[in-house]
């Protein structure tokens, strides 16, 4: 049974790409192609849709 992830591990699921790196790959600069953002605070771990409303993490043209 998997243990609960720490907040740090949870946030490590974000792409880690800078907006510029993401753009160079044709990906959304906000979520880095994930289409979701992982946020955690005080053990409350959330996955939220990309606020840019990108389509599946692709950069908008
Ligand atoms: Zn996005």
Total domain count, the chain: 1
Any idea what DSSP says for residue 41? E
Tell me whether residue 60 is in a domain: no
Q: How far apart are CA 27 and CA 18, in angstroms?
A: 11
31 lies in some domain:
yes
Q: What separation in Å is there between the alpha carbon of 32 and the centre of ligand 1?
A: 6
Q: How confident is the model at residue 52 (pLDDT cuts 50, 70, 90)?
A: very high
Q: What's residue 45's pLDDT? A: 97
CA-based nearest residue to 14, from 41, 44, 36 = 36
Residue-wise pLDDT tens digits, 11-45: 999 999 999 999 999 999 999 999 999 999 999 99
| 24: containing domain | 7-49
Question: How many whole angstroms from 6 Cα to the centroid of ligand 1?
Answer: 24
User: Look-up: residue for tokens 């998997």?
Assistant: 2
Taking the C-alpha atoms of 43, 41, 35 and 14 in order, what is their torsion angle to the nearest 10 degrees?
-80
Cα–Cα distance for residue pair 33/36, rounded to 1 Å: 8
Query: Does any domain span residue 12?
Result: yes
Residue 1 placed within a domain? no
């Amino acid at each position: 049974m998997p243990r609960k992830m720490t907040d740090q591990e949870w946030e490590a699921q974000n792409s880690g790409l800078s907006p510029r790196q993401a753009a160079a790959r044709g990906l959304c600069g906000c979520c880095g192609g994930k289409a979701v953002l992982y946020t955690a605070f005080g053990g409350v771990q959330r996955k939220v849709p990309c606020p840019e409303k990108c389509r599946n993490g692709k950069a908008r043209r």
